[in-house]
Chain A
Amino acid sequence: MGLCERCKKAQATFHLTNIKPSGEKEERHFCERCAVEAGLLQIQKPSVNLNDIIESFVGGAKESGSALSNLVCEECGISYVEFRNHGLLGCPRDYDVFKEPLAKLLERAHDGATHHTGKTPKSLGTARTTQQDIHRLKRQLAEAVAAEDYERAAELRDRIRELEE
């Protein structure tokens, strides 16, 4: 185990072996950072880094005043600043207390999304008969049509209509 051949400082943890067309081998040794920087590897931190998002958001928010950083949840006592520093919320109510600053953060972290779609707890009653079921039924409908099973297709079509209403 030697040092990284690029920065010559950090321990080399990525060991790359290229096999040339001639069959000759070439061994290369990099530290993680240099490997990523040199574009040799795509091993990187998750593309969505919460701290970056929060930093950039808070950076932008400062200009519009410090009101945001004074936000505090009465229920759990966490302030928006504390959340910003640790990346974790204190209690479920924070989603409403910090709604405004969080909305922008959520949109950035989730590719513009603002509302949940998908599973909902059964205890909520209406539950589950939503998009997910329709989505699944539509796929089954397409399969039934492809298989020329028109009886089943008609059944599925009726169920989708019911759900969509």
Chain B
Amino acid sequence: MNTPLDEVARRPGEWLRGSGPLHDIVISTRVRLARNIRGFPFQPRADADQRADIAATIEAAVRKAARLNEFQHLDVEKLEELDRALLVERHLISRQHAEGRGARRVAFHPSEASGLMINEEDHLRMQVMRSGFQLQEAWEEIDAVDDAIEEQLEYEFHPQYGYLTACPTNVGTGIRVSVMLHLPALRLTSELEKVGQAAKDMKLAIRGLYGEGSEAQGDFFQISNQITLGRGETEIIDDFRSVVIPKIVEYEHAARDALLKNRLHALDDRIWRAMAQLQNARLISSNEAMQYLSHVRMGLHVGRLSSVDLQTVNELFIQTQPAHLQKLQGERLNGEQRSIARAALIRARLSNN
């Protein structure tokens, strides 16, 4: 079980660092670009040899790009299941990439702020992640990563359709902007449909914490663009930056203010009961832990709780996930063993504050 990923499990990771603009509500900002290289079929039609060639070609290009020389490269095909699950929990690879077959790779900067997947649905998918609301910075960085790789190889680019992708829903810019939001007050006040409406107006999708097909856990929601053709990258980013996200952040602030003003006891009750559960539980599921941590996190941000520090809470969000928990324990655990270990970890972390 001793892999380079053991160290990774101990770090909080970029997306839960808890800093950056509007970080009380905007957990992280992520920009992804999908690219395919010339001379190969798309993933579904590539045979084993072609997949191996694609992986080798892109990995060589990334290694040659001076800007990316700190990237760590891992062969996903050779990783243990637990390591792959760990990378999913850290948003470094998708579930699809973890569960896929054949030659596939991942590479990322040690800060985990930028990384890429080779041979996922497209030949290359790169991403940049930033704590808090930092869309412009994330875009500029990924634009530069994209340029650095493009200097080493040739992308499939169509005069009319732009960057070609295996799925036509990604064609054009190949961009997917995702902003992760923590919206506990809107959920408590049953006002989430406002968020849905704001997103729908701009043709954006809302998903749970782990993207496609995942449920909302611990009041975390991910908002991302759907349209990739006919709108430039900066236009898409501007929609998020100047319209959608400020609006949702305003809703959540208003909901928090309303709870503080009109339902203070109920709010305090919620926060302190969550704290009590976390400090006393002997068996706790990952979903349950997320929900209580979510309320404690809100408690910290609205100033109703100060007996625990934000960094600890942020770290617990990720360290209580199943693969992280097993990595930290150094052994494979079944469901009940995980619930026991999770409860013990949380109690220990919350009493040492």
Contacts and interface: CB of A to CB of B under 8 A. Distances in A.
Given A47-B200, A88-B42, A115-B230, A123 B168 contact: no
Given A15-B291, A135-B232, A44 B206 contact: yes
Interface stretch (A104-112, A147-155, A156-164): A104-112
B68 interface: no
A119 B42 contact: no
B20 interface: no
Contacts, number: 186
A91 B166 CA distance: 7
B234 A121 contact: no
Given A78-B45, A92-B42, A50 B169 contact: yes
A117 B232 contact: yes
A115 B206 contact: no
Nearest to A42: B196
A105 B260 CA distance: 48
B147 A116 contact: no
B266 A19 contact: yes
A113 B200 contact: no
Given A41-B192, A119-B143, A87 B291 contact: no
B161 A19 contact: no
Given A41-B192, A46-B205, A47-B203, A117 B45 contact: no
Interface stretch (B11-19, B51-59, B77-85, B152-160): B152-160
B279 interface: no
B206 A113 contact: no
B233 to A, nearest CB: 5
A116 B205 contact: no
A56 interface: no
22 contacts: A19-B266, A41-B216, A42-B193, A46-B212, A47-B226, A50-B168, A88-B42, A88-B121, A91-B41, A92-B156, A106-B161, A109-B226, A111-B227, A113-B172, A115-B230, A116-B161, A116-B162, A118-B234, A119-B143, A119-B233, A121-B150, A122-B150
Nearest to B167: A88
Contacts of B203: 47-48, 111
B231 A118 contact: yes
Contact of B173 (A47, A91, A118): A118
A21 B216 CA distance: 25
Interface string A33-48: 0000001111111111
B233 A86 contact: no
A62 B213 CA distance: 31
Given A87-B167, A116-B162, A116-B173, A42 B192 contact: yes
Interface residues of A, number: 57
Interface size range of chain B in the complex: 35 or more
Contacts of B101: none
B44 interface: yes
Interface in B156-184: 156-158, 160-164, 166-169, 171-173, 175
Given A32-B215, A42-B192, 19 more contacts: A39-B193, A42-B199, A43-B216, A44-B206, A46-B205, A47-B205, A50-B167, A50-B168, A90-B41, A95-B168, A102-B168, A106-B161, A110-B169, A111-B230, A112-B230, A113-B230, A121-B157, A131-B232, A135-B234
A110 B230 contact: yes
Given A86-B44, A111-B227, A119-B173, A95 B234 contact: no
A146 interface: no
Interface string B209-236: 0001101100001000011111111110
Contact of A113 (B40, B190, B197, B227): B227
Interface string B226-268: 1111111111000000000000000000000001001101110
A117 B231 contact: yes
Contact of B230 (A18, A23, A116, A121): A116
Contacts of B291: 15
B61 to A, nearest CB: 13
Interface string B261-284: 011011101100000000000000
A89 interface: yes
Contacts of A78: 44-45
Interface in A6-54: 13-19, 21, 23, 25, 32, 39-48, 50
Contacts of A90: 41-42, 44-45
Contacts of A87: 167
